Amino acid sequence: MLFVFQCPACQASIETAADVSGRQSQCPQCQRPLVVPEARVDCGATLGDFRLERRLGKGGMGEVFLGTQLSVDRQVAVKVLPPAFAENRDAVARFLHEGRLAARLDHHHIVTVHAAGEDCGHYYLAMAYVDGESLDQRLRRDGVVPEPEALAIVRTIADALCYAWDEFKLLHRDLKPANIMVDRRGRVFLMDLGLAKSLGEDTGMTLSGAILGTPQYMSPEQAMGSSQLSVQTDVYSLGATLYHLVVGAPPFTGESALKVLSQHVHAPWPPPRSRNPQVSEACSALIGAMMAKAPGDRYAGWRELIADIDRVLAGAAPAAPSGAASSGAVEAGATRTAGLTPQALALLVRHHQAEAPPTPAAACPSADGSLPPARRPRVGRRQWLAAAAAAAALLIALGGALARRGRGDAAPPASRAGYSGGGPMGQAGPPAPAAPARLVEVAGQRVRVPGDFHAAPDTAPEPYTGTGWAREVVHTATGIAMVYVPAGSFTMGSPTAEAGRDSDERQHGVTLTRGFYLGKFEVTQAQWQSVMGRNPSQFTGAGADAPAEMVSWDDCQAFCRTLGEGFRLPTEAEWEYACRAGTTTAIYTGPLTIVDTNNGMELDAIAWYGGNSRVTYEGGFDSSAWPGKQHRHDRAGTHPVGKKQPNAWGLYDMLGNVWEWCQDGYGDYPSEAVTDPAGSGTGSDRVFRGGSWNRNAKYCRVANRDWNPPSNRLINVGCRLVRSVP
């Protein structure tokens, strides 16, 4: 399969094979080095026996096309796994697992899967085409679904799930309006078995303690990462779906996915009739029985639920579920910590240190009684991800029980509605405003930290800050370490005599009037996985602590929205100011001498670049033909963050390893001095800075700039986050 893309520099059309995505190449027109973008299938392409005719939509695990099965000339829907996911073995396994499960099901209300396959690296599922719309689309159009129709739809889905359970002991685990289709004849279909699992099945694809599903409809036990799921788990999600249908909104919303999940565990949901008086008392009682906090208080099986739906449709009140206890409340204190990994307990301790009354860092031991290190221990990728998931689940389970406000703490923020999207964990929600600051004591000094962070040990403000902000903080939920960058002025760009200088580096004065926190390291693969639920990176062999790459500017925006809490990409000015850390030279340790394009000996101590980025792990990039290398190597790639020397402000890998997306559109610099510039251009391309593991020495200068379309994913581009302070 061939595809065509444009050179980002000269816009020349380049035709290449689909299986060379991510490889380094060169534009035949302008000779500019470039990385071939991912090959995307489009209308007219043929995958196996299926020709793609028209794009129908896009979901969390791929695009869906209307297609034609050529051998029998019938319409089908073809779901295609995105190329970035195709590099992820877990994503491919889950995608094909969906096809295998769905192909076993033969029910008139479950979408039939005809085939699953792979063609030129593109994985696809071909299924029956339903000419209609999802309930999610219906809700967006009409607001609510009339109660009798909503009850009839939910009854039909319950019947389909009853069949799946009776025949295969199958749980769906991601029931929501977007996964229920209604065709033009009014027939109802259940679809998307991407998270479905047969009881007792061990696919090896789910980390212990992982949180899977869609936050707005997820059961409390899913929110806590429990592996003990049952029919009652799907009953809860179907109840949350019914709630949304008749009320016009999901039971819970919040400014982040984590806060929505916490509400499922702890908070009472608003009575349906309080939000829509047209909902009957019987329907409201039915929803209450379906959405009881404790699984044992919900319907014990699908037939029992179907019988109660029939009662409500007939105008009668539902019977109480046979397993219902006297109370549906879940006592947070009953949650056990036994079985958590040491890393998960360490994350819990970090959370406790952040929320407990101010205590000197030196007096806060870790879970095993030792003093907590400034950085988390390096552990295996799966072990760390499992620990992070387990810790997140435990924080949800404990809710506010650990929070005890000190006298110096700021008042809690008012309740804010924000995160209300219906995407699975890992899809974007809207950004949230910055949390208020808190006062804590570190090394005998009272310092300020953002409300969702805790101070790293020994991070009292240094003389250069003069602000009272802690020098270094750690984001409680993700472990992202951030360094305080004080306000100040500097000269942005490079002098005309600087070796390797490009014409777009015009010097000009810049003043930043507000300090900010900047990531101490590039966002790692583990952090991306924990927030987005997937790892798109090509260089997984580099380990979980290597920077995430194959992430577009658009992906980074989604990452920040999902993370919430005021995270964003830095502006170019913020990035260069922080990278320089008070210096004025080509690199932050002094001048740069460039020999034979890829030999800059001054870079060796501070950056992974084309001259020294040798790797031995599987999946390294062929670098045997690269010219003028400082150190001989045949394979190159990314490296774990924090291995090179930091700059004067404690920031690692600002040069090399991966380019870092900035917020700005690419454009010419101004000729006059500016204050708090929000961006240097308004064009469609977006800037990235810092050079990378596969670029020549000249690109790893502080002032160097590069750009690409915001949708492009490259194997040498990642990100580093900023957090504004109140």
Q: What is the pLDDT of residues 386-407, one digit of tens each?
A: 445 555 555 555 443 333 333 2
In this prediction, residues 7-22 reach a mean pLDDT of 63
Structure tokens at 413: 């923020």
In this prediction, residues 678-696 reach a mean pLDDT of 86
Answer yes or no: CATH 3.90.1580.10 is held by domain 480-724: yes
pLDDT of residue 57: 81
Q: Note whether 256 and 292 are within 8 A (CB).
A: no
pLDDT of residue 29: 76
Give the DSSP per-residue string, 287-347: HHHHT-SSGGGS-SSHHHHHHHHHHHHTTPPPPPPTT--S-----GGG---TT--HHHHHH
In this prediction, residues 31-41 reach a mean pLDDT of 65
Domain range 46-128, CATH class: alpha beta
**Spans of all domains in the chain:** 2-35, 46-128, 132-325, 340-388+402-412+436-479, 480-724
Helix (H) or strand (E) holding 59, with range, is strand 50-59
**Could you identify the residue written with the tokens 């291995």?**
643
For 586-620, how does the pLDDT look when each residue is reduced to its tens digit (9 = 90+)?
A: 999 999 998 888 888 899 999 999 999 999 999 99
pLDDT at 81 over 50: yes
Across 281-290, 542-551, 672-681, least confident range? 672-681
- Alpha-carbon distance of 352 to 404, in angstroms, equals 9
Across 101-115, 166-180, 453-467, 537-551, least confident range? 453-467
Strand, helix or coil for residue 351: helix
Structure tokens at 97: 């697992």
Residue 119: partners with Cβ closer than 8 Å, 6 or more residues away: 1, 46, 47, 48
Q: Is residue 201 very low, low, confident or very high in pLDDT (cuts 50, 70, 90)?
A: very low
- Alpha-carbon distance of 277 to 291, in angstroms, equals 19
- Alpha-carbon distance of 673 to 334, in angstroms, equals 60
**132-325 belongs to which homologous superfamily?**
Transferase(Phosphotransferase) domain 1 (1.10.510.10)
| Predicted model pTM | 0.49
Residue in 305, 283, 406, 312 with CA at minimum distance from that of residue 355: 406
Across 175-189, 332-346, 377-391, least confident range? 332-346
In this prediction, residues 146-159 reach a mean pLDDT of 96
Q: Give 417: exposed, middle or buried? Use CB within 10 Å, 0-12, 13-18, 19+.
A: exposed
Q: Is residue 374 very low, low, confident or very high in pLDDT (cuts 50, 70, 90)?
A: very low
Q: Note whether 114 and 105 are within 8 A (CB).
A: no
Q: Note whether 47 and 62 are within 8 A (CB).
A: no
In this prediction, residues 561-570 reach a mean pLDDT of 89
- Alpha-carbon distance of 493 to 287, in angstroms, equals 61
pLDDT at 352 over 90: no
pLDDT at 96 over 70: yes
| DSSP 8-class letter at 721 | -
Of residues 21 and 426, more confidently modeled: 21
pLDDT at 297 over 50: yes
pLDDT of residue 566: 84
Q: Give 273: exposed, middle or buried? Use CB within 10 Å, 0-12, 13-18, 19+.
A: middle
| DSSP 8-class letter at 55 | E
Residue 213: partners with Cβ closer than 8 Å, 6 or more residues away: 173, 174, 195, 219, 222, 237, 424, 425
In this prediction, residues 229-247 reach a mean pLDDT of 96
Strand, helix or coil for residue 243: helix
**Integer angstrom CA distances of residue 548 from 134, 329, 640, 697:** 34, 40, 10, 22
Q: Where are the beta strands (DSSP E) in 354-480?
A: 437-442, 445-450, 453-455, 472-475
- Alpha-carbon distance of 392 to 344, in angstroms, equals 8
Across 118-132, 454-468, 610-624, least confident range? 454-468
In this prediction, residues 46-52 reach a mean pLDDT of 93
End-to-end CA distance of the chain: 52
pLDDT of residue 145: 96
Percent of the chain past pLDDT 70, that is, above it, reads 70
pLDDT at 343 over 80: no
Of residues 156 and 13, more confidently modeled: 156
Structure tokens at 113: 């899967």
CA triple 150-152-157, angle to 5 deg: 95
In this prediction, residues 289-308 reach a mean pLDDT of 95
For 103-112, how does the pLDDT look when each residue is reduced to its tens digit (9 = 90+)?
A: 888 899 999 8
For 268-279, how does the pLDDT look when each residue is reduced to its tens digit (9 = 90+)?
A: 989 999 999 999
**Could you identify the residue written with the tokens 């870092």?**
660
In this prediction, residues 226-234 reach a mean pLDDT of 87
Helix (H) or strand (E) holding 661, with range, is strand 659-665
- Alpha-carbon distance of 183 to 179, in angstroms, equals 13
Tally the C-alpha atoms within 13 A of residue 111's C-alpha that lie toward its C-beta. 28
Q: Note whether 591 and 602 are within 8 A (CB).
A: yes
Q: Give 132: exposed, middle or buried? Use CB within 10 Å, 0-12, 13-18, 19+.
A: middle
Positions annotated as catalytic residues are: 174
Strand, helix or coil for residue 117: strand
In this prediction, residues 308-322 reach a mean pLDDT of 90
Average pLDDT for the chain: 78
- Alpha-carbon distance of 517 to 294, in angstroms, equals 41
pLDDT of residue 351: 38
- Alpha-carbon distance of 196 to 674, in angstroms, equals 54
In this prediction, residues 249-254 reach a mean pLDDT of 92
- 717-718/659-665 β-pairing: parallel
Of residues 408 and 585, more confidently modeled: 585
pLDDT of residue 455: 53
pLDDT at 314 over 60: yes
Q: Note whether 357 and 416 are within 8 A (CB).
A: no
pLDDT at 138 over 70: yes
